[in-house]
Amino acid sequence: MHCVIGLGRTGLAVVRFFLNQGERVFVFDDKLKEKDFPDWLSGSPLVTPITLQEVESVLPLVEECVVSPGVHPGHPVVRRFEEWGIPVISEIELAFRYISFPLVGITGSCGKSTTVSLIGEILRKAGWDVFVGGNLGTPLIESVLLPKPPAIGVVELSSFQLERVYTARFFIAGILNLYPNHLDYHSSMEEYFQAKGRIFLNQHHRDWALFPLSRPLWQARWCRMARGRVIPLGVGVRLFEGLYALGNAVFEGGVPPRKILSLEGCSLPGHHNRENVLMAVAVARILGVRSETIEEVLRSFQGLPHRLEWVGEWNGITYYNDSKSTTPSSTRVAIEALPGPLIVILGGKAKLTDFSELTGVLALEKVRCVVVYGASRKTIEAFLPSRIRSFSVESLEEAVKIACREAKPGDTVLLSPACTSWDAYENFEVRGEHFKALVHALGKGSFPEPS
């Protein structure tokens, strides 16, 4: 029997898979009561919910555990199964045993979802039957239940998922970047790096490893970890091999270099999005997609909600929703991506206590004003540069009101919180939607209350 730990979207998909196989399964989630289980789960005779006190009694019956992303490795239930010698794996590892199609895996600290979505759009345009999912939304295990297997899968991979990968193999594996993140989960930056590097663990020599050369601290180690053919990537630099983006074009390194496609008309702003685009281009080129097809998708692709999302322009003031940015690193990238003058809204519940990475970028002349809100506003305030005009409030509603009051025609108001939403919202999507509702209400002269 299996035990599924954590009943979020991934955990429920795993349970559904086991039920489809006719297998009995134990389930554990200390944040849910049985009355909150979906009907199909609570009504199944094959599902046995267990409590923390009942774990000891089921240990002899469990062959393997599947742990959901985000369940802390130090959780007492996870630890107890491991102490008993029972394998604890991720949903990605489980799904790999049953799929019959090659996988493209993309990881990194920022930009994963955008890159995976863009790759999916390019491949669909090129005629591929493609599964897109993983940490992005649809668990990979759901592809096993499809009536017809896709030709290829493109999956976003978090460090949580990769940490418990043992045999899963990615025909193309890409790391976009690496910034401090999830250090409340991983004990150190080194542990976080090692988890990300597991994307290369089971590659064969004919597989492909992609990563940027703009990260000198990590690139040499990634080269040593890579077991497949390496394609280095660069933005704003010329490379003698690999692919690089310079100006509004992508080149293949060599003597002389060769222009392979134009980036004219690509609407994704910022240096970081050039890195995302370059990764997608590299994957598409490996898979034989024509440059004209890639260019067509780049001209139409608008990005994803809550990721440096253009909300609108009112009275000459532009508004961007970057609610997905939950760390100082991702917020720094967003600020660097937009032209000024900027009014930046920061706040929520912090993952980290060190916001020093923002001090320098907030000191740039293009940043006119900062509004901080939420549970961690005092922590953030300690790292604001002395020259910056700043305001501190409790709620996002108040923050938006002040940002609108301070903004002038030609300014940009950017919500890029550098914190999680968990002090006031269920997730970053709910926070982002509330921000957009507040902005859209500007023309009506009133602000809606949070739902």
| Pairwise CA distance, residues 355 & 349, whole Å | 13
Is 259 tagged catalytic?
no
Task: State pLDDT tens for residues 338-389.
Answer: 998 999 999 999 988 999 999 999 999 999 999 999 999 999 999 999 989 9
Is 273 tagged catalytic?
no
CA distances 18 to 87, 91, 150, 340, Å, are 17, 12, 21, 52
Nearest to 69 by CA among 1, 140, 170: 140
Q: Give the CATH number, domain containing residue 409.
A: 3.90.190.20
The answer on whether 266 is annotated among ligand-binding residues is no
Catalytic residue (one of 182, 306, 324, 351) = 182
Q: Are 170 and 192 members of one domain? A: yes
The structural domain count of the chain equals 3
CB burial class (10 A; 0-12, 13-18, 19+) of residue 226? buried
Task: State pLDDT tens for residues 266-296.
Answer: 989 888 999 999 999 999 999 999 999 999 9
Residue 451 lies in a domain: no
The answer on whether 110 is annotated among ligand-binding residues is yes
SS3 category, 215:
coil
Task: State pLDDT tens for residues 236-267.
Answer: 999 999 999 999 999 999 999 999 999 999 98
The verdict on whether omega for the bond into residue 45 sits within 30 degrees of 0, i.e. cis, is no
Task: State pLDDT tens for residues 306-349.
Answer: 999 999 999 999 999 999 999 999 999 999 999 989 999 999 99
The residue range of the domain holding 47 is 2-89
Nearest to 326 by CA among 113, 117, 154: 113
> What local confidence, expressed as pLDDT, does residue 180 receive?
66
Is 306 tagged catalytic?
no
> What local confidence, expressed as pLDDT, does residue 443 receive?
63
The answer on whether 265 is annotated among ligand-binding residues is no
Q: Are 269 and 343 members of one domain? A: no
- Alpha helix locations (H) across 313-427? 328-337, 356-362, 377-381, 396-406
Nearest to 113 by CA among 94, 134, 96, 129: 134
CA distances 281 to 150, 245, 399, Å, are 21, 10, 39
- Asked which of 89, 121, 154 is the last residue of a domain, the reply is 89
Residue 123 pLDDT > 70: yes
pTM of the model: 0.91
Residue 31 pLDDT > 90: no
Q: Are 178 and 59 members of one domain? A: no
pLDDT grade for 218, boundaries at 50, 70 and 90:
confident
Catalytic residue (one of 135, 177, 273, 276) = 135
The answer on whether 349 is annotated among ligand-binding residues is no
How many other CB atoms sit within 10 Å of the CB of residue 325?
A: 25
